[in-house]
Chains A and B, each alone.
Chain A
Amino acid sequence: MSQRYDLAQGSTRELNSWLHHYNGTGESAAWQVVNPNGAHNLAVGLDAPITVDIEGHVGYYCAGMNKYAQVTVHGNAGPGVAENMMSGLVRITGSASQYAGATAHGGLLVIEGDASSRCGISMKGVDIVVHGSIGHMSAFMAQSGRLVVCGDAGEALGDSLYEARLYVRGNVAGLGADCVEKPMKDKHKLELEKLLCEAGITGADAGEFRRFGSARKLYNFNVDNADAY
Chain B
Amino acid sequence: MPTKRRRKHDNDKQELRSRLRESATFPRSVIAEIQRAARTGIYDIRGFGAKRHVPTFDDLLFLGASMSRYPLEGYRERCDTNVTLGTRYAKKPIELKIPVTVAGMSFGALSAPAKEALGRGATIAGTSTTTGDGGMTPEEREHSKILVYQLLPSRYGMNPDDLRRADAIEVVVGQGAKPGGGGMLLGQKISPRVAAMRDLPAGIDQRSACRHPDWTGPDDLKIKIEELREITNWEKPIYIKIGAARTYYDTALAVKAGADVVVLDGMQGGTAATQDVFIEHVGIPTLPALRQAVEALQDLDMHRKVQLIVSGGIRTGADVAKALAMGADAVSIGVAALIALGDNGPEFEDDYNRLDSSAGYYDDWHEGRDPAGISTQDDELAARFDPVLGGRRLANYLRVLTLEAQTLARANGKSHVHNLEPEDLVALTIEAAAMAKVPLAGTDWIPGHGKF
Contact residues, B221-273 vs A (CB, 8 A): 223-224, 226-227, 230-234
For residue A146, CB closer than 8 A to chain B, the reply is no
Contact residues, A104-162 vs B (CB, 8 A): 105, 118, 121-122, 124-125, 140-141, 143-144, 162
User: Which residues of the other chain, B, contact A16 by a CB distance below 8 angstroms?
Assistant: 230
Expressed in whole angstroms, the minimum distance between the Cβ of A40 and any Cβ of chain B is 5
Listed residue (A102, A220, A221) with the most chain B CB atoms within 10 angstroms of its CB: A221
Picked from B214, B223, B231, the residue with its CB within 8 Å of the CB of A40 is B223
User: Which residues of the other chain, B, contact A17 by a CB distance below 8 angstroms?
Assistant: 233
Picked from A41, A84, A103, A143, the residue with its CB within 8 Å of the CB of B223 is A41
Complex CA–CA separation, A118 to B451 (angstroms): 55
Complex CA–CA separation, A223 to B214 (angstroms): 31
Complex CA–CA separation, A13 to B231 (angstroms): 10
**Secondary structure type dominating chain B contacts:** loop
One digit per residue, 1 when the CB lies within 8 angstroms of any chain A CB and 0 when it does not, for chain B 200-236 equals: 1101110001000111000010011011001111100
For residue B42, CB closer than 8 A to chain A, the reply is yes
User: Which residues of the other chain, B, contact A67 by a CB distance below 8 angstroms?
Assistant: 160
By the criterion CB–CB under 8 Å, are B230 and A13 in contact? yes
Specify the chain A residue showing the minimal Cβ separation from B40: A223
Complex CA–CA separation, A12 to B230 (angstroms): 9
Expressed in whole angstroms, the minimum distance between the Cβ of A21 and any Cβ of chain B is 11
Complex CA–CA separation, A125 to B196 (angstroms): 12
Complex CA–CA separation, A99 to B224 (angstroms): 13
A59-B223 in contact given A64-B231, A122-B154 (Cβ < 8 Å)? yes
Specify the chain B residue showing the minimal Cβ separation from A15: B230
For residue B155, CB closer than 8 A to chain A, the reply is yes
A221-B209 in contact given A41-B227, A79-B220 (Cβ < 8 Å)? no
By the criterion CB–CB under 8 Å, are B213 and A44 in contact? no
For residue B163, CB closer than 8 A to chain A, the reply is yes
Complex CA–CA separation, A175 to B187 (angstroms): 26
By the criterion CB–CB under 8 Å, are A84 and B158 in contact? yes
Complex CA–CA separation, A166 to B378 (angstroms): 34
Complex CA–CA separation, A223 to B43 (angstroms): 10
Expressed in whole angstroms, the minimum distance between the Cβ of A132 and any Cβ of chain B is 21
By the criterion CB–CB under 8 Å, are A83 and B214 in contact? yes
For residue A213, CB closer than 8 A to chain B, the reply is no
Specify the chain B residue showing the minimal Cβ separation from A42: B230
For residue A80, CB closer than 8 A to chain B, the reply is yes
A45-B201 in contact given A86-B160, A99-B214, A121-B213 (Cβ < 8 Å)? no
User: Which residues of the other chain, A, contact B214 by a CB distance below 8 angstroms?
Assistant: 61, 79-80, 83, 98-99, 102-103, 121
For residue A53, CB closer than 8 A to chain B, the reply is no
By the criterion CB–CB under 8 Å, are A118 and B205 in contact? no
A162-B220 in contact given A103-B214, A122-B155, A223-B42 (Cβ < 8 Å)? no
For residue B41, CB closer than 8 A to chain A, the reply is yes
For residue A18, CB closer than 8 A to chain B, the reply is no
For residue A189, CB closer than 8 A to chain B, the reply is no
User: Which residues of the other chain, A, contact B301 by a CB distance below 8 angstroms?
Assistant: none
Picked from A61, A103, A125, A143, the residue with its CB within 8 Å of the CB of B158 is A103
For residue A65, CB closer than 8 A to chain B, the reply is yes
For residue B199, CB closer than 8 A to chain A, the reply is yes
Contact residues, A36-75 vs B (CB, 8 A): 40-41, 44-45, 47, 59-61, 64-65, 67
Complex CA–CA separation, A20 to B204 (angstroms): 39
Expressed in whole angstroms, the minimum distance between the Cβ of B173 and any Cβ of chain A is 16
Complex CA–CA separation, A13 to B226 (angstroms): 10
By the criterion CB–CB under 8 Å, are B223 and A60 in contact? yes
User: Which residues of the other chain, A, contact B232 by a CB distance below 8 angstroms?
Assistant: 45
User: Which residues of the other chain, A, contact B42 by a CB distance below 8 angstroms?
Assistant: 221, 223
Expressed in whole angstroms, the minimum distance between the Cβ of B25 and any Cβ of chain A is 27
By the criterion CB–CB under 8 Å, are B213 and A102 in contact? yes
For residue B159, CB closer than 8 A to chain A, the reply is yes
Listed residue (B154, B199, B205, B234) with the most chain A CB atoms within 10 angstroms of its CB: B199
By the criterion CB–CB under 8 Å, are B199 and A125 in contact? yes
User: Which residues of the other chain, B, contact A193 by a CB distance below 8 angstroms?
Assistant: none
Specify the chain B residue showing the minimal Cβ separation from A221: B205
By the criterion CB–CB under 8 Å, are B199 and A80 in contact? no
User: Which residues of the other chain, A, contact B155 by a CB distance below 8 angstroms?
Assistant: 84, 102-103, 122, 124
User: Which residues of the other chain, B, contact A65 by a CB distance below 8 angstroms?
Assistant: 159-160, 163, 231
- What are 16 A-B interface contacts by the 8 Å CB criterion? A13-B234, A40-B227, A45-B163, A45-B231, A61-B223, A64-B231, A65-B163, A80-B215, A80-B224, A83-B214, A105-B199, A122-B209, A219-B204, A220-B203, A221-B42, A223-B40
Known: A41-B230, A83-B214, A220-B203. 12 other contacts (CB 8 A): A40-B227, A45-B230, A60-B224, A61-B214, A61-B224, A64-B231, A79-B215, A83-B213, A84-B158, A86-B160, A99-B213, A105-B159
Which residues from chain B sit less than 8 Å from chain A, CB to CB? 40-42, 154-155, 158-160, 163, 186-187, 198-201, 203-205, 209, 213-215, 220, 223-224, 226-227, 230-234
Which residues from chain A sit less than 8 Å from chain B, CB to CB? 12-13, 16-17, 20, 40-41, 44-45, 47, 59-61, 64-65, 67, 79-80, 83-84, 86, 98-99, 102-103, 105, 118, 121-122, 124-125, 140-141, 143-144, 162-163, 219-221, 223, 226
